[in-house]
Amino acid sequence: MLAIRTSKMTKPIIWLFGISVAAAAFGYAFILPGLGQTAKNVDLGAYSADAERGEYVLRMGGCVVCHTDIDNGGVFLAGGAGLETPFGTFYAPNITPDTEHGIGAMSLEDFYVAMTAGVTPDGEHYFPSFPYTSYGRVKTEDIVDLKAYLDTVEPVARPNRPHELIWPFSNRQLVGVWKSLYHTPEPFVSNEVESAIWNRGAYLVNGPGHCGECHTARNLIGGISANALEGAGKSSFSSGAPPIAGSRSTIRDWSLNDLVFYLQLGLTPDGDVSGGKMIDVIEHGTSHLTGEDLEAIATYLKSL
Amino acid sequence: MLRRFLAAVTLSALIAMPGSHASANSDSVIEYRQHLMRAIGGHMAAVAAIVKGRLPLTEHIAEHAELIENAAELVPAAFEEQVSDGLTDAQPEIWSRIDDFVELNAEMSKASAALAKAAEEGDMRDIAMAMQSLGKSCGSCHQPFRKPKEESYKQPR
């Protein structure tokens, strides 16, 4: 497609302008419908929803980390604290089933399209601060169950705080350009050569777990680099996250059991504790997963 | 005899070292408090090893937790002198918000006492929960007062 190597983009913001002008010339309509299409090929009615499993999917997906204002004792899923990025501050919205302020009016199909294609019920683009770039790989049955669970959550009439974004990044249409570079919703495909537990781990890490959203470096316009999970230095996007794959990774020396333990309790084998955002990821995400799933994640990470 | 003499010489050399007077050498201040933290970490890792390996040493967990509680008493003095330059991850905010720092240390102390209690009672589930709270208390102080991993003086290999 576009012959632009992300790592060599020295003046990406200018590129972005260039591309957006070009895109404007072609018309945004060209970019929009293609991505909204995905749900049409999927039979959402083929699964009978299980809300209890959906609660587990919520933990696999770490949704609470962004959608609850944890540090200020915010109400469960009623909207998160600010996520600071070079484009401004994003506030993850209320996803309780309140019809006015939450997602109570979203149909299952709307929800599916939001999660996988990053498109709103009105056909606009969501900003990729909602990590649909990873959730695009979540299995259909998991999304169906998750929606069934979210429908059972206590609705909270808490109005959403608008994002505080820098022009021109406040423009949702620009996201369409970004997506044409960095997001193709593709379902998770198992690797037949590997074991079932490895594949489960690969799914959890690259799909719902969205570990790469923090552990993989980004370029200046927020595109994810090719060195998956090899760490992200401190940048304007985050205070960084260490490598969990590759030769620089400390966890190469950890046993499978050490990794499982870390994802449960946040304790490292050398007597340190997890820090930064990983504390929330563990407390509100991975510590709720079954031993088998954590072992699957560990098996996959250790193989990288 | 000779050994005794050598010991005396080294000792007096130590005592005569610069910085052993009023204001301590800042490298030593850092070295000491980091070792104190590692000692706490060592007990934490020992507890983790018992739980992870399902070793029949549950009563040791209570001992380690008490040792963390004792070590907590040493923390305020170890951080009394402001040294935030050098091979350290201590954030200068420690000294502008020293009361918060001391309070968070007291929280760790409480959490280790709770772990000791859980370990004495012996229920693995409660022990795991108490470990989680203790770990959280470490994180609550590290979050504001210790540099994040990617800025640590300990650079990844």
A58-97 pLDDT tens trace? 999 999 999 999 999 999 999 999 998 888 999 999 999 9
- DSSP 3-state assignment of A164? strand
User: A237 lies in which domain range?
Assistant: 189-304
Indicate whether A138 and A153 sit together in one domain: yes
Q: What is the mean pLDDT of chain B?
A: 89
Partner A contacted by B131 (CB < 8 A): yes
Contacts of A209 (CB under 8 A, 6+ apart): A60, A61, A62, A134, A285, A286, A297
Partner A contacted by B143 (CB < 8 A): yes
Indicate whether A151 and A204 sit together in one domain: no
CA A73/CA B90 separation, integer angstroms: 27
Indicate whether A146 and A104 sit together in one domain: yes
User: B53 lies in which domain range?
Assistant: 26-81+88-146
Residue of higher predicted confidence among B14 and B30: B30
Greatest CA separation for chain A: 57
CA A90/CA A162 separation, integer angstroms: 8
Indicate whether A105 and A231 sit together in one domain: no
User: Left if phi > 0, otherwise alpha if psi is -120 to 50, otherwise beta: which for A62?
Assistant: left
pLDDT the model gives residue B149? 84
- The total number of structural domains that make up chain A: 2
pLDDT band for position B11 (50/70/90)?
Answer: low
* Predicted complex ipTM: 0.81
Distance from chain centroid for Cα A25 = 31
pLDDT digits (tens, 9 = 90+) for A37-51: 455 578 888 889 999
- DSSP 3-state assignment of B57? coil
Is B6 within a domain?
A: no
pLDDT the model gives residue B50? 96
Domain stops at, among A187, A218, A243: A187
pLDDT band for position A290 (50/70/90)?
Answer: very high
Kindly give the pairing relationship between strand A88-91 and strand A164-165. Answer: antiparallel
pLDDT the model gives residue B6? 53
pLDDT band for position B21 (50/70/90)?
Answer: very low
- The total number of structural domains that make up chain B: 1
Is B153 within a domain?
A: no
Domain stops at, among A187, A206, A227: A187
Say what the pTM is.
0.89
Partner B contacted by A288 (CB < 8 A): no
Q: Which residue of A has its CA nearest to B140?
A: A275
Domain stops at, among A153, A187, A221: A187
Contacts of B13 (CB under 8 A, 6+ apart): none
Is B11 within a domain?
A: no
Integer angstrom CA distances of residue A187 from A81, A114, A134, A234, A296: 30, 15, 10, 31, 19
pLDDT at A15 over 80: no
pLDDT the model gives residue A54? 98
Inspect the interface and report whether the beta carbons of B132 and A233 lie closer than 8 Å: no
Is B8 within a domain?
A: no
Inspect the interface and report whether the beta carbons of A266 and B43 lie closer than 8 Å: no
Indicate whether A59 and A18 sit together in one domain: yes
- Write the CATH number for B102: 1.20.120.10
Is B115 within a domain?
A: yes
Indicate whether A58 and A180 sit together in one domain: yes
Indicate whether A116 and A2 sit together in one domain: yes
Is B4 within a domain?
A: no
